[in-house]
Amino acid sequence: MITFDLQVNPGNAPWPLIADAALAAEAAGFDTLWTADHLAGEVMSAPSMPECFTTLGALAAVTSTIRLGPLVANVANRPPVVTANAAATLQQVSGGRCVLGLGAGSAPGTKWSAERRAVGMEQPAKMSERHRLLLDTLDLIDELWSPTRRADLRTFISPTPRPPILLGVNSTTLARIAAQRTDGVNVCGSADYAQEVIEAAVQERGARNGAKTKSDDPFMVTVWEHFDESLLRREPLDERIERWASWGVNRVILLMFRGVDLVAIDRAAAHLRR
């Protein structure tokens, strides 16, 4: 069974339309609404870019059942404690509907890092350093959110229940980290490395769990793809859905990149509500 989520690009739609999209996605039956975490609109082909946790907090106030999260929050965009506190706050104000998407960020010199260079926030140059920052963030989250945390952390906000964490990946190394340390893995479904990294995550998760069956494990195995209504249809089933399911995918995130199409979101209900 495939679960469907919706992601919007908040840089390409005004706030009232983003709020309407969240309400429409909730009514249609999408499980989670995701937004992006960028500092400048240029990297998402947008004129500007609202801050993601501020946007998600506002969306929590206008919705009631749909889950909410960043896909994905770059661990280099904020000190780890700010990321942890932002997610814990979202979990509190949403009544337990936060899903924390995290990512290690892109390499320096790519178009994705241009927004950081513009304000003197270049990410670590070495891949190992970016992975270390991700692991440090996960370590701090575990420490801050632990029910047995040490006394000097007792007044830091702690989410109840702890939100699931989904890791955006583009390599088998990150896929294995996702399986070992988080509750899910996400990759671009059309990427040439997608099958390899998904299968690495599934294999690593299975090794970690031993005899535990897939049905026992809520691990999210997700791919994202640009919004295409044919992916929602059960008859005929799109061959991409069949292919992804054969890898172990259990969730598809549909991205509305150029803008928000409320009519298309409404039409999705006919497929999601079956």
Per-residue pLDDT reduced to its tens digit, 16-73: 999 999 999 999 999 999 999 999 999 999 999 999 999 999 999 999 999 999 999 9
- For position 108, what pLDDT does the model report? 81
Average pLDDT over every residue of 80-99: 98
- For position 104, what pLDDT does the model report? 95
**Residue bearing the bigger pLDDT, 125 or 251:** 251
Q: Partners of 33 in the beta sheet?
A: 6, 68
**Confidence at 134, pLDDT banded by 50, 70, 90:** very high
pLDDT tens track for 192-220: 999 999 999 999 999 988 755 555 679 99
- For position 149, what pLDDT does the model report? 96
- For position 1, what pLDDT does the model report? 85
pLDDT above 90 for 106: no
Average pLDDT over every residue of 89-110: 94
CA angle 263-7-1, nearest 5°? 90
Tokens of 35: 């937004």
Our measurement of the distance from residue 168's CA atom to the centroid of its chain's CA atoms, rounded to an integer in Å, reads 7
- For position 72, what pLDDT does the model report? 96
Average pLDDT over every residue of 174-184: 98
- For position 212, what pLDDT does the model report? 57
Question: How many Å apart are CA 178 and CA 108, to the nearest integer?
Answer: 22
